[in-house]
Structure 1
């Protein structure tokens, strides 16, 4: 068990206010759980140019790549139901994927970023500029030639997660978004969470779309205005690699389920065995992956294993049993079993190229928690 040290927690809030009041970051929201205690904090504004649009507890954020392990968790639900094996080749479910050197790529390769696929398609920008549907991205990924054969390199790849989303669709006959809603979000009572903006969020007297925080996009990122993170196209697209809309409170329910061995209230969402497998480093057991290729890296099934080499998101003080994922919109999700704690930190300022907000906040959070 663990608990918060009150005067240290006040320093967390002070640092967050400093970031927002000096406009280094427009908005920061967090939800932290230590033992049986929880703390939330919200600072800044929901709209970039409207100082009166104060951040509130029900503000919805686009959390970017935190989406990836959530999608993988959906695939693991299908594994528990006997629909697939981690060692299954992807072409078993998507026959047209099995070409151009991709015959041997397995679901485990996609989940651990060892498939050899690139992060993005070569004409990623052109597709977004044309407001292409997800199906077109999937079609082009199926035609790709990997950079290396599977199991030879660790290369972060959004394309592989897109294919996992398609695997969900092929097996269930549902969209990835609908499957995640029914199998994960509804049982976890994550009522303000969706993969892609649902039509019903745009309707009614107080539509949820009005609660979505605007992301400030640094000029250095050179993002095309017609497909940036704030555009209707991107919000509605529902990218399996980065399109999740959610709140810190909702994501904290997901973290709590992981900490509880897959259990939420009276439901077993995922089995304890599945959680253990998903959150242990898979890289040492991947045949053909050399020590040099995996040195300084760690991947479970969708989850990044925290190490001293990825402190840009996770800070310097988490234990080596910690796992999580960051997002390009300036977000991080982590669980530390040794500390008996979890944190959701969401901002509206991309972590790169400016750097260190998330790690500095995490360091202060960890310093505010003590074992009991």
Structure 2
């Protein structure tokens, strides 16, 4: 069985401390599992202005786009329950979506970034500045024309995940946040996880909102404090494409479920076949996608398939069977079935476009694993 070599693990901690103590990264939290063994590590500052290590070991991070495959997993639960098919057209569930060239977009297109929709709405900044609700984003996406017909291009898109959350709402009769809590987070005992900041997290003598570390906003990002990642608006908004609040330990439980073929303790959260389908490259099955369009890309159902040409965020040493997702707030989640390993690396500094700190930490983690002989 694969295992962590303890003396090499110390070098992981040293690397992380170096990034934090030299202020390259304000805070880093880590949860790694190899075989039956798990390690965690926390370093850095809860607030940017803090003068010493203050990050608590129960810190709750805004993980940005790691949210996307979690929302997709919720939709896959509906698929398993017979409520939808991946080949169903989206307009079957959201009739007003089926206009302006979007008639043929299917659930599978949304999950694989092949719908042709843009990443963000043209009015994205104005909507956020106005503190618009999610319903307004969905309304404008429904009116939008895609950049290309579905199944022709691979184009990363947050808008498609927003629509997928609306599909969940219309089928389940409850918000995507509530549905994920009941069907995924509660069964997985992810007690510090929520899509958007719940009101109860702001209450009590030691409210959970105080455990959310401050994100360093790059000067060039040009956002306003009342709608940036640290704002009350954005934390409470619960963007289906990037609003998940969670801990390394909770995401580690989700990773363990994936590694165990959808099982957690005595519960089957998702079926083994659903996990296999979600974590295999779906792009070759789209006949309208040219080889050039697929070049260097790999998408399962919500999960990015790691390859040598898309190693940003994932480092250089993961197996070709690995899958995961990164987040713009400086986060990455990966599972490597070949190594029987997974990692959750959460930071508080955006690392677009190359995720250099995340990739270097991943390389250091892989270097301390002794593979199964």
* Range of TM-score over shorter length: over 0.9
Question: Residue 343 of structure 1 corresponds to which residue in structure 2?
Answer: 343
Q: Give the Å deviation of 1:198.
A: 0.2
Deviations 1:78-130 (A, max 9, x none): 00000000000000000000000000000000000000000000010000000
CA contact (8 A) 2:44 2:52 kept: no
Shift of 1:309: 1.4
Distance 2:47 2:310 in 1: 30
Residue 211 of structure 2 is matched in structure 1 by 211
Counterpart for residue 6 of structure 2: 6
Instruction: Give the TM-score of the pair, scaled to structure 2.
Output: 0.99
SS class of match (1:24)? coil
**Aligned positions of 1:118-267 closer than 5 A:** 118-267=118-267
Contact kept, 8 Å, 1:63 with 1:327, in 2: the verdict is yes
Counterpart position of 2:302: 302
List runs of 5+ in structure 2 lacking aligned partners.
none
What per-residue deviation string (whole Å, max 9, x for no partner) do you get for residues 266-309 of structure 1? 00000000000000000000120111100100000000000111
Conserved 8 A contact 1:220-1:353: no
Deviation of residue 311 (structure 1)? Answer: 1.7
**SS class of match (1:29):** strand
Measure, in 1, the Cα distance between the counterparts of 2:295 and 2:126.
Answer: 35
SS at match of 2:226: helix
Partners of 1:259 and 1:240 lie apart in 2 by 24
- CA displacement 1:330-365 (0-9 Å, x = unmatched): 000000000110000000010126741000000000
Structure 1 residue runs of 4 or more that deviate by more than 3 Å after TM superposition: none
Distance in structure 1 (CA, Å) of the matches to 2:133 and 2:287 = 35
Q: Please name the residue that 1:101 is paired with.
A: 101
RMSD: 0.9
Give distance in 2, aligned partners of 1:245 and 1:173.
23
Deviation at 1:312, TM superposition (A): 1.6
Match of 1:330 in 2: 330
SS in 2 for 1:18: helix
Aligned length: 372
Per the alignment, residue 63 of structure 1 pairs with 63
Shift of 1:53: 6.3
The 3-state SS of whatever aligns with 1:86 is coil
**1:224: Cα distance to partner?**
2.4
How far does the alpha carbon of each residue in 1:125-178 deviate from its partner, in whole angstroms, 9 at most, with x for none? 000000000000000000000000000000000000000000000001100000
What is the correspondence of 1:288-299 to structure 2 with a 5 Å cutoff? 288-299=288-299
Distance 1:178 1:133 in 2: 16
1:52 Cα offset (Å): 4.7
Q: Which residue of 2 aligns with 1:41?
A: 41
Q: Verify the 8 A CA contact 1:116 1:146 in the aligned structure 2.
A: yes
**Contact kept in structure 1, 2:330 and 2:355, CA below 8 Å:** no
| Shift in Å, 1:50 | 1.9
TM-score between the two structures when normalised by the length of structure 1:
0.99
How far apart in 2 are the matches of 1:161 and 1:321?
24
Q: Is the 2:43–2:53 Cα contact (8 Å) retained in structure 1?
A: no
Q: Which range moves more in the overlay, 151-160 or 7-16?
A: 7-16
How far residue 226 of structure 1 moved from its aligned partner, in angstroms, is 1.9
What SS does the corresponding residue of 1:9 show, helix, strand or coil?
helix
Give the structure 1 partner of residue 271 of structure 2: 271
In structure 1, the gaps of 5 or more residues are none
Find the counterpart in structure 1 of residue 88 from structure 2.
88
What residue is the counterpart of 2:28 in the other structure?
28
Report the CA distance between 1:74 and its aligned residue: 0.1
Task: Supply the distance in 2 between the matched residues of 1:221 and 1:284 (Cα, whole angstroms).
Answer: 36
Please tell me whether the aligned partners of residues 315 and 359 of structure 1 are also in contact (alpha carbons under 8 angstroms). Answer: yes
**Deviation of residue 310 (structure 1)?**
1.7
